[in-house]
Amino acid sequence: MSLKVKETTEVRLVFLGAAGVGKTALIRRFLQDKFEPKHQCTVEELHSKEFSIGGAKVTIHILDTSGSYSFPAMRKLCIQNSDAFALVYAIDDPESLDVVKSLRDEILEVKEDKFTPIVVVGNKTDRRGERTLSRQDVLSSVDLDWNHSFLETSAKDDNNVLEVFKDLLQQANLPSRLSPALRRRRETIPKEHNNRPPMNKTNSCLIT
């Protein structure tokens, strides 16, 4: 007897990583097709966007986190309540990859599932002359040892940004018909509103 898998119509994606690796830049590039070269410290911000696909509504929540992890209990709660994770490091910052490794261990421990949807993202490929982390070395660890997806990106050049989100959503079991809609994301996703109400902290997870 075959079981019908219920399609997910709501999903929470979380971007985690050290400060300054470009988490906010990746999210902004995806949502607004913009890039801000000046780094600004992020506290936490939750973006919620709704897609209308084949008559069905799919809501995607994207949590942009801080690079500071002072409250482990809050981070644990955040992990428990999230569906898929982008672990971001910078290709010119070896320490940021160490942070990714620690975060991965924590996610697998909290979720108690080695098949938790995770995409490891090596950002800032536009800094080719400053690279200190070999793509092949990281790929070997992530793909062979960790069995996770791996992509190198540039928020500045808009390289592979869309692919990160597509990978996360596919792993989170969103309907497969969502993929072509993502190719038209700038028409499908409403533009960001600056006057949106503040987040309800009782329903959000803070990593400060």
Tens digits of pLDDT across the chain (208 residues): 444 444 548 889 999 999 999 999 999 999 999 888 776 666 678 889 887 655 667 889 999 887 665 567 778 888 999 999 999 999 999 999 999 999 999 999 999 988 899 999 999 999 989 999 999 999 998 988 899 999 999 999 999 999 999 899 889 876 544 555 555 554 444 444 443 333 333 333 333 2
Structure-token match 């069905």, residue found: 56
The model's pTM: 0.78
pLDDT computed for residue 84 by the predictor: 96
DSSP string, 139-170: HIIIIIII--EEEE-BTTTTBSHHHHHHHHHH
Q: Element (H or E) spanning 13, and its range?
A: strand 10-17
Provide the token pair at 178.
Answer: 């969502």
| Residue 125 near residue 152, CB atoms below 8 Å | yes
Angle value at C-alpha 199, between 160 and 79, nearest 5 degrees: 55
Structure-token match 């990593």, residue found: 207
CATH fourth-level superfamily of 10-189: P-loop containing nucleotide triphosphate hydrolases (3.40.50.300)
